[in-house]
Amino acid sequence: MSELTVSRNMVMGTRAFVALLEMLDKMDSTRLAYTRFRGKDDILSLALDSQGDLDPKKASENLMVMEVDPKLADEFKTAVTKAGIPISWPTYIEPAKQPGDLAKMHCFIVFPRSETPQMEQVIKDFTDKQRMADPMSKEEMLDWLKQNQAGDTQVGKIAIDRDVYDFMSRTHMLNIPRTELGENKIDRTMEICVPAGMGSSVMETVKTAEALYSGSFRTMEDTREESRRKAMEQMLAGSKNDRHLSMIVDRSNPSEYVTFDRDGYSHFIDTPQGPQMVDRCLRKDRNYEQSLYDILCGMHACKEYEGTELENMEKLHALQKHGPELDGITVEERVHQLKRRYIEEMTQAGEIIGQTYRQAEVMEKQQEAFKGRMKDDIIRMQNSLDEMSADGLGLSAAAGDLRGDMHQIKGMILSPVAAESTKDLSDLNDSQGWKELLEKRLLLDYRTRDVRDRYLDLFDDLADGMSQEEPEVQRAFIREFEQTTRDIFERDYRYESEGLTVETVDLREELAQSREKETELDIVR
């Protein structure tokens, strides 16, 4: 893995940094993508003067630049954004210096100098996670424990739904030391071991993954993965044939493409100065297939064109010119993206709903007890009225007050503390605006105004973001929000009722038992 590097002293004269500044000077969002966070300066405000022109001195004083391995760029951007650090992510292609040489692709992250301590922590966490992306063997896990846990070899044993575990693995949600103990074919769970102290945090991650991997997201994710696998296999198989002349294009970024000739492939990226070749590999090379696979994995939406070189280039130029119109994103795909972005908010929403339900249930039980006591009071008051009437005092002021009190108590009994709408999990398409929808969906009827406002403030970004989406996307997202929060609610209750725990075992004993079984099998053989 390439190291992430931060340039602390940006040299104005370097070709790369000049290119970055030129990109910062472009207000066109297609040339410069950047994030914004409420209460923080964005990249443009730290680089441009009051007239909207680039101020090199201001930029160099306020901004930092780091280079990221292109293969890690997308994952790292996600980690930085999650940390709330404003960034821009320009790409610079260093042209080939000599004919026949390869151009070099540089991916940069530009961020405020004030965010340097936070960025250094993100880099450390990201690097640590990358080292733990793949599971260890039992022996490797035992060595890691001895080196990092002061000799303690205790591990937490956790069983995770196989589909959820596969999803967590390929999306790098489990970047921790772990070893796989094997799959239980009966209930389709994967049993893993993690350091004992990490067991509870892993369970929280599993809950988040289950929440994300629900509703239509799960179906779409499985379909995408299967389609991606088949397409990848087909393209790799075709690339081995020297008569297979084609071009593979990234539809989400048509400036990146791979061409195949009789000898191998060439990886190009278009720049304002023309196409630049950043990689070339021959079929006879030992790493040909792996190298091509790595490139295709970095493409978000591959499309292959077959034909002559001229025909393929014409198709490429048409896609570059009309791509957004020809390959527009579907509503389903957009909901898939949005759910990834807002899963923490959706998880939190499910938890708030669960809390409100539990609070409402307690209130209802208290009310039932209170109603019982009030009914007893009514009986006693009625007996008192009967006695007063028998004594000729039925029309007295005291009797009138007693009747008024009885009427009031009866009204209290008939007025439920928890309205039926509290338990209504029906579609919320009738709500007016996202603030109102969230208030209704989060079941905030029985919260105080302060608590209700505090909860809604947590969802400001979601409400603002969703209000900008197309109406059909909003409707589809409401359905996904509905299903996901329902699943989280049921999941929390299931976890509560089942009392899921992390089983603690000693990995040395587990390893010794495994070796005994292997020895027995060898004897049998």
Query: By C-alpha distance, which of 205, 209, 202, 204 is closest to 156?
Result: 202
Q: Say if residue 371 is in the same domain as residue 451.
A: yes
Report the C-alpha gap between 517 and 522 in whole angstroms: 9
Q: Say if residue 290 is in the same domain as residue 378.
A: no
Strand extents, DSSP E, 22-99: 63-68, 91-94
Q: Is 493 inside any structural domain?
A: yes
- Rounded to 5 degrees, φ, ψ at 159 are -105, 125
Q: Say if residue 345 is in the same domain as residue 369.
A: yes
> Last residue of a domain, which of 313, 328, 343?
328
Contacts of 326 (CB under 8 A, 6+ apart): 318, 319
Give yes or no for a contact between 46 and 61, defined as CB atoms under 8 angstroms apart. no
Q: Say if residue 112 is in the same domain as residue 238.
A: no
Q: Is 516 inside any structural domain?
A: no
Q: Is 366 inside any structural domain?
A: yes
Q: Say if residue 373 is in the same domain as residue 282.
A: no
Q: Say if residue 266 is in the same domain as residue 391.
A: no
Contacts of 362 (CB under 8 A, 6+ apart): none
Q: Is 188 inside any structural domain?
A: no
Q: Say if residue 238 is in the same domain as residue 345.
A: no
> Last residue of a domain, which of 267, 294, 328?
328
- Rounded to 5 degrees, φ, ψ at 6 are -110, 125
Report the C-alpha gap between 256 and 89 in whole angstroms: 16
Q: Say if residue 357 is in the same domain as residue 486.
A: yes
- Map tokens 């966070």 to a residue: 37
The tally of domains found in the chain comes to 3
CA 132 to chain centroid: 19
Q: Say if residue 341 is in the same domain as residue 304.
A: no
Buried b (16+ CB within 10 A) or exposed e, 362-387: ebeeebeeebeebeeeeeeeeeebee
Classify residue 222 by burial, with Cβ atoms within 10 Å: 0-12, 13-18, 19+: middle
Report the C-alpha gap between 524 and 517 in whole angstroms: 11
Q: Say if residue 338 is in the same domain as residue 457.
A: yes
CA angle (122 as vertex; 117, 124 as ends), nearest 5: 95
Q: Say if residue 322 is in the same domain as residue 339.
A: no
Q: Is 270 inside any structural domain?
A: yes
Q: Say if residue 125 is in the same domain as residue 55.
A: yes
- pTM of the complete model beyond 0.75: no
DSSP-assigned beta bridge partners for residue 110: 65, 88
> Last residue of a domain, which of 71, 102, 131?
131
Q: Is 346 inside any structural domain?
A: yes
Q: Is 189 inside any structural domain?
A: no
Q: Is 311 inside any structural domain?
A: yes
Report the C-alpha gap between 245 and 260 in whole angstroms: 5
Per-residue pLDDT of the chain (525 residues; tens, 9 = 90+): 334 443 333 333 344 455 555 554 443 333 456 777 778 888 878 877 787 777 778 888 888 888 888 778 877 887 888 788 988 887 777 777 777 778 887 788 889 999 999 999 998 888 877 777 788 888 888 888 888 877 788 888 888 889 999 888 887 788 788 889 888 888 889 999 888 888 888 888 888 888 888 888 888 888 877 877 787 787 888 777 777 788 888 876 778 889 988 888 999 888 777 788 888 888 888 888 888 888 887 776 778 888 888 888 888 888 877 654 445 567 888 888 888 888 888 888 888 887 777 776 666 666 666 666 666 666 777 777 777 776 666 666 666 666 666 655 655 554 443 333 333 434 434 445 787 888 877 877 767 788 888 888 888 878 888 888 888 888 889 888 888 888 887 777 677 666 556 778 788 887 777 666 655 545 544
Structural domain boundaries enclosing 342? 332-498
Give tens-digit pLDDT for 81-95: 878 898 888 777 777
